Amino acid sequence: MELAQEQQPRALLVDGMALLFRGFFANSYGGYIRKTNAGLPTNAVYGFVKYLLDACKVFQPTHIVCCWDMGSTTFRTGQYAGYKANRPEAPNELLPQFDLVKEVVESFGIPNVGVAGFEADDCLGTLAKMYREHAEVFILTGDHDMLQLVDDRTTVVIMKKGHGNYAVYTPQFLLEERQLSPAQIVDLKGLMGDTSDNYPGVRGIGEKTALKLVLEYGSIDGILANLDSLSKSVRTKIEADLEMLHMSRDLATIRCDAPVELEWERCLWVMDRTSVANKFEELEFGSLMKLIG
């Protein structure tokens, strides 16, 4: 896959778990799980490949990296034992596909990145910060928490329902759609918590009240500086949960200083078709061959 010499550098940072889980559930409807003749489940990897190649076609990257979680124990679980404690176990058919998908990514010549003790989000945030000096950065994910990473050089692409359907968030679009700045995404989560990640924020304050407060006072710091201006009910709730408010804001903050080292040149997107075709043949992905030319 040769690149036009005049193309401006563009990095695609892929949230591997988001694509893999989406691929699994999109390709297991009706209870049918795609498997090789030897019985190896491949439905999630199959979906992952389709999503990845579609994004490459749409966003035309010159460089690609794929980031992964490295287990459930991170510095956030050290801060708050309940963090993500409500997550169900991965389906049995998905388990062998965690390693398999990384083999497929390697066959494309794309680096796999993950750091023990950190989440894929932190790796994505760190790489976005590193690479924004070299290129326009696009982060491909399904996770709206990533919107805090949007800036003038970093675009967050949220995968929506339906193949090839994306919401493309620049600072301008984020402001138009949600009336929020990227930093305010974190403040909103600090106040209202996150049921998916299992931290509570301020008990009794939901999304509607949290949004109203953030829009009115700009940030959690702005709210705390104006506690006397709040209704007695809201003020009482915040004062009763100050420690959890600060912790929830910290849990919601994506770290952009994770110990990730990956040279820019290693991410160059030049696909070795033979390598990919061999992997597709091994996994019996004949129907995907047309996608690699």
Q: Tell me if 23 sits within 8 A of 51, measured CB to CB.
A: yes
Geometric angle at alpha carbon 113, from 82 and 292, rounded to 5°: 125
In the CATH hierarchy, which top-level class contains the domain 182-252? mainly alpha
- Torsion sign (Cα): 99, 121, 179, 170: negative
For 103-144, write each residue's pLDDT tens digit: 999 999 999 999 999 999 999 999 999 999 999 999 999 999
- Tell me what pLDDT residue 6 has: 61
For 72-84, write each residue's pLDDT tens digit: 899 999 999 999 9
Residues of the chain with CATH 1.10.150.20: 182-252
Residues of the chain with pLDDT under 70: 1-6
- Tell me what pLDDT residue 2 has: 43
- Tell me what pLDDT residue 31 has: 85
**Which tokens go with 282?**
């091994």
Separation CA 62–CA 220 (nearest Å)? 39
Q: Domain 10-178+254-292 falls in which CATH fold?
A: Rossmann fold (3.40.50)
**Which tokens go with 189?**
């989560």
- Tell me what pLDDT residue 3 has: 45
